[in-house]
Amino acid sequence: MKVTGSIAEIRALSRQWHTEGERVGLVPTMGYLHEGHLSLVQRSRELADRTVVSIFVNPTQFGPGEDLDTYPRDLDRDLELCSSEQVDAVFIPSADTFYAPGHSTWVEETALSKGLCGGSRPRHFRGVTTVVTKLFNAVQPDLAVFGRKDAQQALVIQRMVRDLDIPVEIHLGDIIREADGVAMSSRNARLNEVERVRARALNHGLKAAGGLCESGERRAAVLLSAVEKALREADAEIDYVELVGLESLQPVSELTAPALLAVAVRIGATRLIDNCILRPRG
């Protein structure tokens, strides 16, 4: 397994694979890998001949006062996991080399990135689309795999690739959960024991809304208040709970077509997100 922080080196490796007729898959991550990340690696290995994992805690997608400095990191363990998943190369750019002094160019999606997480994290998606573009330019993959856990991010990236004619296929992997239903996240490591139990409320809330939906409920207000109730009982500080169109990410008041139910909360100092798709019955 090749491990490099050099853009020139990863690009040369990718070029070499392409000359040999191989397809290259990329799984972008911020490290502190868990089963959710590894499921994306497995997907890439099914779809491509070579798989590159990038590990980069991207400073430009964190706002002031967010958890850039305390974001969990364990590179040795990440490399062991990549190696055991038979990853071909790990790309680990350093923040200084990836963002040259005076970096002043941004890639910005201006519609889908405004609501949901974009509401409370105004520069977040600009950082994401810029870093994903840079990762694509460095690795030159044929395809990239992202998780549905970050549903808005996935949609923003699909839109960016479409709008800018970026020749990378985007594939999405399902949300991988812990045994108690909590969506796997690197940030779960920052929860203490009590907070970790409280974190179950996200999935409980989504499931409560799912249950109502199964029994025929279509009113967004009723579905949303079921989620809010579960979150309030766990004393989670709600950032948003929204039911939005799958493609538009615009709020819907009635479930007439499949829609995305998305939540973001703070539990203690840790921000957590989760989502599910609700489908109207019948």
Q: Could you give the residue numbers annotated as active site?
A: 37
Is residue 175 near ligand AMP by the rule CB under 6 A? yes
Of 14-22, 171-179, 205-213, 238-246, the window that binds ligand AMP (rule: CB under 6 A) is: 171-179
Is residue 183 near ligand AMP by the rule CB under 6 A? yes
Is residue 146 near ligand AMP by the rule CB under 6 A? yes
Q: Which of 51, 130, 186, 203 binds ligand AMP (CB under 6 A)?
A: 186
Is residue 173 near ligand AMP by the rule CB under 6 A? yes
Q: Which of 10, 13, 30, 226 binds ligand AMP (CB under 6 A)?
A: 30
Is residue 185 near ligand AMP by the rule CB under 6 A? yes
Residue whose tokens read 């970026």: 166
Closer to ligand AMP by Cβ: residue 155 or 220: 155
Closer to ligand AMP by Cβ: residue 183 or 230: 183
Alpha carbon distance 151, 275 (integer Å): 7
Q: Coil, helix or strand for 102?
A: coil
Write down the least CB distance from residue 273 to ligand AMP, Å. Answer: 10
Q: Which of 134, 149, 190, 198 binds ligand AMP (CB under 6 A)?
A: 149
Residue whose tokens read 């397809």: 23
Is residue 184 near ligand AMP by the rule CB under 6 A? yes
CA-closest candidate to residue 209, choices 235, 175, 243 = 243
141 residue type, one letter? P
Helix H or strand E segment including 211: helix 200-214
Residues in CB range of 161: below 8 A, 6 or more apart: 168, 170
CA distances (Å), origin 131, targets 26, 53, 128, 135, 170:
13, 14, 5, 6, 15
DSSP symbol at 62: S
Write down the least CB distance from residue 262 to ligand AMP, Å. Answer: 13
Is residue 37 near ligand AMP by the rule CB under 6 A? yes
Alpha carbon distance 146, 150 (integer Å): 8
Strand partners, 237: 266
Closer to ligand AMP by Cβ: residue 176 or 220: 176
Closer to ligand AMP by Cβ: residue 118 or 173: 173
Contact 143, 168 (CB under 8 A): yes
Contact residues toward ligand AMP (CB under 6 A) are 29-30, 36-37, 39-40, 146-147, 149-150, 173, 175-176, 183-186
